[in-house]
Structure 1
Amino acid sequence: MPEDYQDIVLAAYKKMRDNGELRTILTGETTTRLKKACLKVYDSRYNPKDADILSMFFEIDRIECDDFRKVIYDSEPDDYKALCNHIKEETGKTSEENTDLLAWLIGFPTQYEWMELSDEEKELIIEKIANGNKTPPVVIGPTNPPILQPKPPREETTYRPRFSQHHIIISCIILLFVGTTFFAIWERDTKMIRMPESGEKFMYWDGDHYEPVKDGEQEPGITIIPLNLQTLKQQRKINLPDTLTSYSIGKVWYKGFVKDHEFFTDSGAYPQDIQRVLKPLTNTILTKYTSNYRYLLTRLVWFICATFFISLCGFAVSKLEKEVKAKDESQQQDKEVGLRLEEEPMVEQTEGSLAI
């Protein structure tokens, strides 16, 4: 071992201890804390090449030992007594094993690595330890940076949504509202009754209402009856019986036999068989042959389907994109960078300053 290696390691330990660099691994100079420090160093930066140091210190064959952490854990505090006395300077010289273990604890080069270093490298290591492993940066005066050539502006193509999400949602709501309103109006809309012209003294049943007609102009097989303006205006067939409610009683008449029931807006003879007379609507007939809940449920299902369809359309529209071309402003940015480089001094950082 080099004659001064032990003194150099001990001096390095003292300097690092005084600088507070060993607080995380060695909080005190006792045998128990030295053992704990060995465990911490082993867990944080153990390297297979450290096996030689540990095997020499604990007097164990490194080939047979495959877990030095267990060896450290099972060791006794008295195993570190000689090293503890050495770092407290209660003894003079100590064994190579103690010095190697101390160098391993503080991260100092081993004695063989130390022998391979040049004098300049040794001085640099000692100087770094003396400075607390900190090397101040060297400031160099301002220099003329290379002139950055301006780059020609170029266009970058990006794709953005054609319509905003906000507008799509509002449009879908408006479309659903307008569509629902028009459907409700169309469903309940009644045809305008054509008033009789001169010479039209008769009328016939045209599916769901009466139509005025002249005698002899009706189609073959069509029954005509004398014109009655009140019946012409008010007599209509209700095509959606499920829209009837309890409020319809007294305002609606019906013709029915078993399950064949038809409902009309005025009393009188049954249009397709004037020998039969329409009967006023009763609660029994209303409950048995109509269902307003069925009508509302059907319209609710239609509304949900319409909402789903419009939502799909809105989702498809939201995926539409438009091409946007933007000019690159790198030329202006290069000019600004060049101005900053001219004003600011360059700082050369050494290995020590990077470690900070």
Structure 2
Amino acid sequence: MFTFEIFREEVITCYKEKKQQHKLYSQLENPSPGNLRNLCLIIFSNGLSKEDTQTFNEFFNPLNQSNELETSINRFDLDKLRPLRNFILGKAKNPKDEVVKLLAILVDFQPRPYENWKKSNSTTVIENDNVESGEKDSSEIEAEIPVNTEQAITALNDANSLKSNSKSKYLVVTLGLVLLLGVFLFIKYGTLQKQCMYWNNDRYIAVDCKEKIPGSEVIALDEHKLNNFRRITRPDTLSNKDVSRVWYSKVNNSVEFFTEPGHHPLYDKPLKAVTAYILNQHALEIKN
């Protein structure tokens, strides 16, 4: 029987593995309550599935005190995020269920939520039971071979045919697994030569570490930045809803906006969360 305890262990294991592989949001590298709340706002702004929205509501708005989930996250007491922080740091071994479910979203654990994970594992158990049942039926056929010689030969051939079909199925499954493993290894290691990246106008581009890019600095690959860090080239598309959701830096008396926190890719200046004043002065005025 699969229990929530197993789900909890798999979620925290997923966190540890992704941390070693540097595949986590930067806020999880230093999981302070403030960083955790900011990360929840980022993930919310990126869009949530129906199930993830329900998990967020159960955690941030359990009493339905607000009609706006974003408002509930912004006003959420930081002290109530300490159990999540302690669970991540290994200081709490048995947190509440909603803490585990929230971490599953933050580390993009799959399958989720818990109900989907449980169904997935239950399906595996049923399939294994069916295989064992099929083997038993085959042996029963052999045990019930009739005395008549002609019938006995026919029954024996049928039993052998069943065994042959069973072996064929196992062979197909094995070949399928080998193929999947090959695809996985190709995806994981086939591009190992691209372990660096450089900034190109509005995003990072993966590149071989030995390659020289004129006028650009080649740095170590950060998959999260590679996939998510962008300079916003159309600031006129921003609105007041983007306050504290995007980041900015002043460069040569002009303001550049970015989708993620961190440092300016060219000048190494720390990015700041955009304020209503900055947005009105440097983005909304373009629209007007």
TM-score band (shorter)? 0.3 to 0.5
**What's the TM-score once normalised by structure 1's chain length?**
0.32
Please identify the structure whose Cα radius of gyration is greater: 1
Of Structure 1 and Structure 2, the greater helix share is in 2
Higher share in strand = 1
The alignment's TM-score, normalised by the length of structure 2, stands at: 0.40
